[in-house]
């Protein structure tokens, strides 16, 4: 279940790309990749306007967040590695896939242990303390506002689905097919289980997802000139089962 169907999406021919499950040893590097890449994201810089002033704060925030994702119930983290001519491997990107639903297949993806449950609680407490007492890059009012308006109720109507919770590619490796390889894992897994795939995307990311077959089902207007969209992919033989043609909800927001 951790393989990618290359017949669905083809990688860039000039790069040797491999997709594998992330390991605990990858966590610091994944946090650095996320912190450096999201420093240029329009929505993220709106919520964290002091990232340039406190870059270490963002690294530590992503470090805790990455650990939480590793221990999330139904959460599966993958990395994309590129290999140069000398055989040196570099992590170029990462994706976090989450299995939603309470069906029997979902239970298999959500296997849990007492140790993981305990670690989740400890990490959640650590994140709360760090966010409220130590982290200085964010604007709490803006974050609270975004969480309030970006409430896609459509998710609650899906009995089972795969959700792309996190996708980030280092700038120097973008537009080389790596993002599509990471997306392909979830799309192919959902295809095999006859389920839809959901995600939230920025304006730039929306174009990538549309080429793969995702459609917009909700638009969240965060602030003037700044929005986020929720998107859904359906297996070809099941198109229209979860999302009707031209079905879209636009969530307006009061300015912050």
Question: Residues 230-240: what's their mean pLDDT?
Answer: 93
Determine, yes or no, domain membership for 10: no
Give 75's pLDDT tier (boundaries 50, 70, 90): very high
Determine, yes or no, domain membership for 9: no
CATH number for the domain harbouring residue 68:
3.40.630.30
Determine, yes or no, domain membership for 7: no
Spatial separation of the C-alpha atoms in residues 238 and 113, rounded to whole Å: 35
For 183-197, the pLDDT digits (tens) are 999 999 999 999 999
Determine, yes or no, domain membership for 104: yes
Determine, yes or no, domain membership for 11: no
Q: Rounded to an integer, what is the distance from CA 56 to the centroid of its chain?
A: 22
- pLDDT more than 90, % of the chain: 64
Give 246's pLDDT tier (boundaries 50, 70, 90): low
For 26-71, the pLDDT digits (tens) are 999 999 999 999 998 889 999 999 999 999 999 999 999 999 999 9
pLDDT for position 227 = 86
For 83-114, the pLDDT digits (tens) are 987 888 999 999 999 999 989 999 999 999 99
SS (H, E, C) the chain: CCCCCCCCCCCCCCCEEEEEECCHHHHHHHHHHHHHHHCCCHHHHHHCCCCCCCHHHHHHHHHHHHHHHHHCCCEEEEEEEEECCCCCEEEEEEEEEEEEECCHHHHHHCCCCHHHHHHHHHHHHHHHHHHHHHCCCCCHHHHHHHHHHCCCHHHHHCCEEEEEEEEEECHHHCCCCHHHHHHHHHHHHHHHHCCCEEEEECHHHHHHHHHHCCEEEEEEEEECCEEEEEEEECCHHHCCCCCCCCCCEEECCCCC
Kindly tell me the burial class for residue 45, based on how many C-beta atoms sit within 10 Å of its own C-beta (0-12, 13-18, 19 or more): middle
φ/ψ of residue 138, rounded to 5: -90, 165
Question: Residues 190-209: what's their mean pLDDT?
Answer: 90
Determine, yes or no, domain membership for 171: yes
Between 41-50, 99-108, 224-233, 244-253, the lowest mean confidence (pLDDT) is in 244-253
Determine, yes or no, domain membership for 145: yes
Determine, yes or no, domain membership for 4: no
pLDDT for position 6 = 33
pLDDT for position 203 = 74
Q: Rounded to an integer, what is the distance from CA 87 to the centroid of its chain?
A: 29
Residue 161 is part of which domain span? 16-251
Mean pLDDT of the residues in the chain: 88
The structural domain count of the chain equals: 1
Distance set, CA 121 to CA 71, 116, 242, 253 (Å) = 10, 9, 34, 33
**pLDDT at residue 207 is higher than 90:** no
Q: Is the dihedral of CA 177, 181, 187, 191 positive or negative?
A: positive
pLDDT for position 175 = 87
């Amino acid at each position: 279940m951790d393989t990618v169907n290359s017949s669905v999406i083809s990688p860039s021919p000039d790069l040797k790309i491999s997709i594998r499950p992330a390991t605990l040893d990858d966590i610091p590097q994944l946090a650095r990749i996320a912190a450096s890449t999201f420093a240029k994201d329009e929505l993220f810089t709106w919520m964290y306007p002091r990232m340039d002033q406190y870059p270490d704060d963002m690294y530590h925030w992503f470090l805790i967040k990455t650990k939480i994702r590793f221990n999330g119930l139904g959460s599966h983290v993958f990395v994309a590695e590129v290999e140069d001519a000398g055989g040196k491997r570099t992590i170029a990107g990462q994706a976090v896939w989450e299995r939603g639903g309470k069906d029997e297949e979902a239970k298999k993806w959500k296997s849990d242990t007492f140790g993981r449950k305990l670690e989740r609680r400890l990490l959640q407490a650590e994140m709360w303390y760090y966010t409220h007492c130590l982290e200085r890059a964010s604007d709490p009012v803006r974050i609270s506002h975004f969480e309030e308006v970006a409430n896609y109720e459509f998710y609650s109507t899906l009995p089972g689905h795969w959700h792309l919770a996190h996708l980030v590619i280092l700038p120097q490796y973008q537009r080389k097919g790596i993002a599509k390889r990471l997306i392909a894992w979830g799309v192919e897994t959902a295809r095999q289980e006859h389920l839809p795939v959901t995600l939230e995307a920025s304006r730039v990311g929306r174009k990538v997802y549309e080429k793969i077959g995702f459609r917009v089902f909700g638009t969240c207007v965060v602030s003037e000139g700044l929005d986020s969209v929720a998107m859904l992919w359906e297996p070809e033989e099941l198109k229209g089962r979860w999302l009707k043609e031209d079905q879209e909800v636009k969530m307006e927001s009061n300015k912050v």
